[in-house]
Structure 1
C-alpha cells in the first residue's frame, strides 16, 4: 500500500469517545511507513489518587508509533493500528491494576520493578509507550 493511501484510511478511523487517531507520511524517517498519533482521555494514575477513584484527567495523553504500511492491504493496516491501540490499553491497565489496601501496582509501566515483573510474566521487557 502507498503511504498516501494508508494515511487516508487511518484518518477515517474512530475508536472510543474522546480518542483521536491521525496519520502522516513518515517515509522521510523510515521507508514505507506512516506515523500514527493517538490522543486519548486518561486519568492521573498516581497511587495516592487510587482510593479516591482517580478523580482527575490528564491534560492530553498521547502516543505515537511508526507503522510499516508498504506490505499492507486495508485489513492488515487496520490490524496494525488496532495492535497499537491494544498496546496503549495494556499500558494504561498496568498503571491502574492495584492491590488493596496499599494500592501497589505490580506491573506499573513507569517503574523498573513493574517493567521487570511484566517482562518476567510475558518473557519480554515491555518498556511501553513514550
Structure 2
C-alpha cells in the first residue's frame, strides 16, 4: 500500500468516544511507514485515588506508533492499527487492575516490579505511551 493511501485510510478511522487517530507520512525517517498519534481520555491512576474510583481525568493521554504499511492491504492496515489500540488498552488495564484492600497494582506498567511481573522487561515506554 502507498503511504499516502494509508494516511488517508487511517485518518478516516473512528474508535471510542473521545479518541482521535492522526496519521502522517513517516517515510522521511523510515521507508514505507506512517506515524500514528492516538489521543484518548484517561483517568489518573494513582494508588491513592483508587478507593475514590479515580475521580479525575488526565487532560489527554497520547501514544505514537510507527506502522509499516508498504506490505499490506486495507484489511491488514486496519489490523495493525487495531493492534496498536490494543497495546494502549493493555497498558491502561495494567494500571487499573488493583488488589483489595491495599489497591496494589501487580502489573503496573510504570513500575519496574510491575513490568517484571508482566514480563515486559523493556517497559511500555518503548511503545510511546504517555
Q: TM-score, normalised by structure 1?
A: 0.95
Query: What value does the CA root-mean-square deviation take over the aligned residues?
Result: 0.9
Question: Would the alpha carbon gap of residues 126 and 79 (structure 1) be closer, same or farther in structure 2, given more than 3 Å must change?
Answer: farther
Q: Does 1:7 align with 2:3?
A: no
How many pairs were matched up?
Answer: 126
2:127 paired with 1:127: no
Aligned equivalents of 2:18 and 2:11: distance in 1?
Answer: 15
Partners of 1:47 and 1:53 in 2: how far apart? 10
Deviations 1:39-76 (A, max 9, x none): 00000000000000000000110000000000010000
- Where does structure 1 differ by over 6 angstroms across 4 or more consecutive aligned residues? none
> Aligned-pair distance for 1:125?
3.0
Are 1:29 and 2:25 an aligned pair? no
Structure 1 unaligned blocks of 5 or more: none
Aligned-pair distance for 1:127? 1.4
Q: What is the aligned partner in structure 1 of residue 88 from structure 2?
A: 88
Q: Give the Cα–Cα distance (whole angstroms) in 1 for the partners of residues 71 and 41 of structure 2.
A: 31
Q: Partner of 1:38 in structure 2?
A: 38
In structure 2, C-alpha distance between the alignment counterparts of 1:56 and 1:92, rounded to whole Å: 15
Structure 2's unaligned 5+ residue stretches are none
Cross-structure match for 1:110: 110
Q: Which residue of the partner structure matches residue 48 of structure 1?
A: 48
SS in 1 for 2:35: strand
TM-score, length-scaled by structure 2: 0.95
Output aligned runs, 1:55-66, within 5 Å: 55-66=55-66
